[in-house]
Amino acid sequence: MRLQRGVPVAASFAVGALTAVQARVNGQLAVELDNGLQAAVWSFGSGLAILVVLAVTVPSIRAGVARIPRAVRSGELAWWQAMGGVLGGFFVGVQTAAVPALGVAAFTVAVVAGQSSSSLFVDRIGLGPAGKQAITRPRVASAVLAVIAVTVAVSSRLASGGLAVLPLVLAFMAGLAIAFQQAINGRAARAAQNPMSATFYNFLFGTVALGMALGIAVAATGTAPTALPPGPWWLYTGGLIGVVFIGIAAWAVPIIGVLLFAVVTIAGQLSGALVLDVAAPTAGTDLTINLVVGVFLAFVAVALATRGRRTT
């Protein structure tokens, strides 16, 4: 069993690190455009374009795309379980707006608190395809410790008034949403018999939701979208990273469960975030000993959650 879980755990750690890179990419694009919502639309829209090409050219993905509507009609999959992309769109929208204000590491730790807490609940009710996971003391301790980690990590900036509270709250809420997204995407992947087919619908609905939000914003303000900057090239990789992350999540969650996937990706996120905030800090970054201690506590939370996994 441990060997069977080793590959999805390793893949989850790797895409967790990529998520920190995506946060920096999307956050920088939001700065260049001076419009976080437009940056989020680009991230999801470019990911959707990649998936359309894959669906057209890869028969197994195309077949999986056709299976999901049939699964909804037959009752195998609830209609809302095919719409995880709406939650994903919310996450990316918050990510693009919050990272420039918070820095990658503080944003990531805030997401950790929300994601680990809601993952515990999602696994308990069996929303994900791996079934119900018991609420054990180590798992509860993990969720609580993740919240403590956030408080410690950002405490110096709260005291100095240097941390924007609203982006922090939105990042926590995005973390809450992402666990639900991962659970229902896992169910969609099982119905499609292909994780990339579920990823297609995730990006389809996410792009539609973000596009509608951008249209409303443009109509309300009368401000036209900004032209995309000429580069650098890596500004436009957020969608590709998102495709890889959602695809791995849809594949791994049915095997290892929502909470274990969450805490392993958290380890990857924090590892990548610390490297980025040391090597290339944003204007909102404040790398202090408090943040380092908070990241350490988050890793302890990962260890506790891993120890406490038990099915019911």
CB 61 within 8 A of CB 200: yes
Check whether 204 has a pLDDT greater than 90.
Answer: yes
- In b/e form, how buried is each residue of 246-259, taking b as 16+ CB within 10 angstroms? bbbbbbbbbbbbbb
Cross-strand partners of 311: 133
Q: Tell me if 51 is assigned to some domain.
A: yes
SS3 133: strand
Q: Tell me if 312 is assigned to some domain.
A: no
Q: How far apart are alpha carbons 90 and 282 in whole angstroms?
A: 22
Q: How confident is residue 136, by pLDDT bands cut at 50, 70 and 90?
A: confident
User: Per-residue pLDDT averaged across 214-223, rounded?
Assistant: 86
Reported as a single tens digit per residue, the pLDDT across 73-124 is 999 899 998 888 888 888 888 877 787 777 766 777 788 778 877 887 888 8
Q: Which residue has the higher pLDDT, 280 or 300?
A: 300
Q: Tell me if 102 is assigned to some domain.
A: yes
What pLDDT, on a 0 to 100 scale, did the predictor assign at position 257? Answer: 79
The pTM of the full predicted model, rounded to 2 decimals, is 0.79
Place of tokens 């699964």: 71
Question: For residue 30, which of 105, 96, 127 has the smallest C-alpha distance?
Answer: 96
Domain tally, the chain: 1
User: Per-residue pLDDT averaged across 205-222, rounded?
Assistant: 89
Cross-strand partners of 133: 311
Check whether 25 has a pLDDT greater than 50.
Answer: yes
Q: How far apart are alpha carbons 212 and 47 in whole angstroms?
A: 17
Largest CA distance in the chain: 57
What pLDDT, on a 0 to 100 scale, did the predictor assign at position 57? Answer: 95
- 188 burial (CB, 10 Å; 0-12 / 13-18 / 19+) is buried
Contacts of 283 by beta carbon, 8 Å cutoff, 6+ apart = 100
What pLDDT, on a 0 to 100 scale, did the predictor assign at position 1? Answer: 44
Q: Tell me if 54 is assigned to some domain.
A: yes
Check whether 4 has a pLDDT greater than 70.
Answer: no
Average pLDDT of the residues of the chain: 82
DSSP states along 135-147: --HHHHHHHHHHH
Question: For residue 287, which of 274, 305, 271, 302 has the smallest C-alpha distance?
Answer: 274
Distance from first CA to last CA of the chain, Å, rounded?
17
User: Per-residue pLDDT averaged across 23-41, rounded?
Assistant: 84
Check whether 3 has a pLDDT greater than 50.
Answer: no
What pLDDT, on a 0 to 100 scale, did the predictor assign at position 31? Answer: 83
**Parent domain of 147:** 2-307
